[in-house]
Structure 1
């Protein structure tokens, strides 16, 4: 018997209200305990609810993490999702430690001491600020961005890019860039080439079927890396590639500092790996099997300490690591055969009013 209602995308929205109610009620009972000092029942009841609320927060956190991994949020929702996840983790730690402190205070019969009682009340009440911020970000995900909402299916809007993007990538208003190749080689002048000269990468336009003309890339001698020199902090990249005719490692690289320091999402040998190169040493944050055939819609999100990659609308890897310094993004090929590229767009997840004026 499936206990999850058909309308619910996951169990998180069913659980999340319990810790909110339990922790808010616990603070109210703690206030009653201060007003009625001769009645220890209120303080004991508050402690029980704080413990239950902390346990509920743990359950909400893990179901929320699973829920976040089951959806494909729009670019504007990614920063909110990252902040919601971080706030939820801090809330779990806060109330988990606080519940333990309350239990210890009760064990040694210290909650009746006025100074201790007031301190416990003020700290617990202060924790509601964290709880509120976490819930507010979760509500924004649902009501402002529609994350996790089952709406009537709508056909996906076709990718529409400016004609200027055909000769090479062009800056976008959010501080990112967009590229829909329609020239065989003119685009090379708009990229930087930190690994391998432009001549090391053969390129041609070929028939991509329903996609029209697409760019065929073949490394004459690898590795070859090309970047659009527009440094970004938090980003979302969307690209469509066809790797059936390529043998080797294909990477989307981002936050590039140099060949010894950058982040990447790599497709190689039927696997996808997400990680970084730091001081020349490669560190894999997450990896998973990825059996792909035909065109692959790849989305890469790097926001603060959260790194996610989606394949054809499904999350496949989700890693965590130190927030990188801003840097440019691009592609790296190391192998033989041909990669087909339909488009590549990189969005700035935290645009500033003057983002489009970046050189």
Structure 2
């Protein structure tokens, strides 16, 4: 039977095979008469030796019961030594030393190592006292070594390797849990990013569409109404393009899907024209036309400006809005200031969904965002670091 198949058997079957194989080998050794460890005639009859061997092999079924099996096996060994030490009993007893060291507690394993070392010393001292020649004592001590030290040393090494393997498995399990938590955090972050993008598209473009459509219905001048409707159409097309790009990104596998370029500050004029078509008076000041900006910062600045203009259209229709984009000392500053005395102001604490999304966007690129009343109006200011951002 192959070793892997043997290990797949239940424990009691493994121990039963060991006990049966050991008994058969011991029987052959006794039958051949080569079992004596000491010179002289063996006065114990064969049936007594076989009875010892049977008792010891029967205890093999309990070899993992530590220290009970070892104590019972020691009692059988004491009887064998009293009769005259025999080779089969000594060999079987070594397996109990091995099992006690391997399957016992950590404390038991340490005790077994100490007992094995002490037993060699005790045997040497006893033989030196009783033997007539010191050479005989040395040979007796060397004879004890393979029966005591070898199984204990071997089991200690196997146990150490087993403990290392268990530690590695535990570490691998912890790493797997950490990886799963990281994956969940990445999924949550991606969902948050998608939620922000969807909010920007819907709240920005569709809010402008709704306000401009209402304005177009009430305009008596056909030319002005046409201008507003053109802005409505432009917002509708932009919203569809961004939604299509996002859906394509979600459906893509391997990054081969075609997507449109992300919105950038270069497209700020479209936001301004849409806001003007909604009835706002918008003044724009920018010093970043020739400044190369990282894509993440460029997109973040655009979305913040888009959300701020959308809030101005909703909460201060017909008012005046100042949009300033400045670059100084590695920081891109975006300011959107508007009057709020016309109708409804945003929440005083700046806790609206749009403001929360703007803060998250600024924080994602290492920047800051403040929003609140300022000099009789409402000010949104974002500071986005440019250096080192990818």
Fold match (TM-score > 0.5)? no
Higher relative contact order (CA 8 A, sep 6+): 1
**More strand per residue: 1 or 2?**
1
Higher gyration radius (CA)? 2
The TM-score, its normalising length taken from structure 2, stands at 0.18
The TM-score, its normalising length taken from structure 1, stands at 0.19
**More helix per residue: 1 or 2?**
2
